[in-house]
Amino acid sequence: MQFAFGGAWDARDALRREDAEGLAQELRDPSARVLPIWRGKPHLAGSALGWVPPDHPMLRHAPRPFLYLGQHQGRACFAADLSAWEPDALDRAALAMFLDTSTQRHPDAAPDAQFGELRMAMSQLDAPEAALAATARALFNWHRTHGFCAACGHPSDVTMAGWERQCPACGAKHFPRTDPVVIMLVTHGNDVLLGRSPGWPERMYSALAGFVEPGETLEAAVAREVLEETAITLGPVRYVASQPWPFPNSLMFGAVAEATSRNITLDDELEDARWFPREEILRAWSGTHPDLLPARKGAIAHYLIGQWLAGRL
């Protein structure tokens, strides 16, 4: 897998999610493993996830039931939300940054284990572990923002091992939300169109992206977003690949299209957008471009640009 989060673990084991007693028994098995997540950050141990056994003391901060992720490498895998834990000397300014480089170490954790930003670790984790961490992060974010019934407003309960919420007042069931997003590599001859949003790290440019609207095809969303953000018109749009993107709860649909115009007029969503020739993109990828950083490794934007540079798109 050439971009993060697209891998698969052995089994999601969805049919077991309604077996609360069976899963409780799994958590009594010392071979089971739990992935702690703190405010969206997975527990990391070097270049791997920092799994802990079900009786680990740091899990006292996590509400039950734990999220059941399924089976991997012969073990039941769960995730636990430790967001209620408050670290000492917490750098709140770092947490609010686009890319949070701070780490947090729980006092009961192993010496080499800490909570870290998933975007920083996504290219270091193996494909199944990256997918497991992304799934847990996305689901916990959904629970954090969807605690009330959308039908009647009553607080809802976590059911189905974390994969559903049910309202005890009206009986409505609610399921995890995934937002479809198009991300598109727009080319024109030897050039590629890249943009940057306000608040991004300095010199960072990437492929344009935007949410799919109700009643809209992916191809129509690509053309509309590019037109709205840059006034560039497109020819035929071609789908390339997709990537789950848990920041917070998206599924990115990667596409490529050839522009039929070149004059850029920015809207208020972008800080800048430019046409970059292939030679400048190659300099950015080699780390020698003074004004352009390459797209982050592991992101589908990096994959799309790499495929274009290699002449495969």
H or E, element range at 43: strand 41-45
Q: What percent of the chain has pLDDT over 70?
A: 98
pLDDT digits (tens, 9 = 90+) for 205-224: 999 999 999 999 999 999 99
Same domain flag for 229 and 171: no
Same domain flag for 171 and 192: no
Domain at 208, CATH number: 3.90.79.10
Does residue 6 belong to any structural domain of this protein?
no
Q: With both helix axes pointing from N to C terminus, report the angle between 278-286 and 300-309 in degrees, rounded to the nearest 10.
A: 120
Same domain flag for 155 and 224: no
Residues 6 or more apart whose Cβ sits within 8 Å of residue 184: 207, 208, 209, 222, 225, 226, 237, 254, 255, 256, 257
Owning domain of residue 244: 179-309
Q: Give CA torsion, residues 291, 193, 183, 5, to 10 deg.
A: -40
Same domain flag for 193 and 305: yes
Contact 47, 53 (CB under 8 A): no
Q: How far is the C-alpha of 244 from the C-alpha of 300, rounded, in Å?
A: 9
> Alpha carbon of 240 to those of 34, 43, 233: distances in Å?
34, 32, 19
Domain count of the chain?
A: 3
Does residue 8 belong to any structural domain of this protein?
no
Nearest Cα residue to 193 out of 124, 112, 259: 259
pLDDT digits (tens, 9 = 90+) for 34-53: 999 999 999 999 999 999 99
Same domain flag for 304 and 186: yes
Same domain flag for 114 and 159: no
Q: What mean pLDDT is predicted for residues 93-115?
A: 85
Strand partners, 33: 77
pLDDT of amino acid 63: 93
Instruction: Tell me: pLDDT of 85 over 80.
Output: yes
pLDDT digits (tens, 9 = 90+) for 258-307: 999 999 999 989 999 999 999 999 999 888 898 898 888 899 999 999 99
Q: How far is the C-alpha of 252 from the C-alpha of 243, rounded, in Å?
A: 5
Q: How confident is the model at residue 200 (pLDDT cuts 50, 70, 90)?
A: confident
Nearest Cα residue to 218 out of 193, 236, 206, 205: 236
Does residue 5 belong to any structural domain of this protein?
no
- Token pair 């920083």 in the structure block, residue: 120
Does residue 85 belong to any structural domain of this protein?
yes
Q: How far is the C-alpha of 246 from the C-alpha of 5, rounded, in Å?
A: 9
Does residue 122 belong to any structural domain of this protein?
yes
DSSP-derived secondary structure for 102-168:
--B--TTS-TTEEE--HHHHTTTS-HHHHHHHHHHHHHHHHHHH--B-TTT-PBPEEEGGGTEEE-T
Residue 202: phi and psi, rounded to 5, are -55, 140
Residues 6 or more apart whose Cβ sits within 8 Å of residue 115: 36, 37, 38, 39, 41, 42, 43, 44, 103, 104, 105, 106
Same domain flag for 129 and 205: no
Same domain flag for 185 and 299: yes
Same domain flag for 100 and 170: no
Same domain flag for 133 and 63: yes
Does residue 43 belong to any structural domain of this protein?
yes
Same domain flag for 184 and 305: yes
pLDDT of amino acid 240: 97
Same domain flag for 204 and 150: no
Does residue 217 belong to any structural domain of this protein?
yes
Instruction: Tell me: pLDDT of 96 over 70.
Output: no
* 248 prior amide bond cis, ω within 30: yes
pLDDT of amino acid 199: 84
Instruction: Tell me: pLDDT of 93 over 80.
Output: no
Instruction: Tell me: pLDDT of 1 over 70.
Output: no
Does residue 1 belong to any structural domain of this protein?
no
Q: What mean pLDDT is predicted for residues 74-93?
A: 90
pLDDT digits (tens, 9 = 90+) for 179-189: 999 999 999 99
pLDDT of amino acid 101: 84
Reported pTM: 0.93
Instruction: Tell me: pLDDT of 71 over 90.
Output: yes
Q: What is the mean pLDDT of the chain?
A: 94
- Tokens matching residue 307: 């495929």
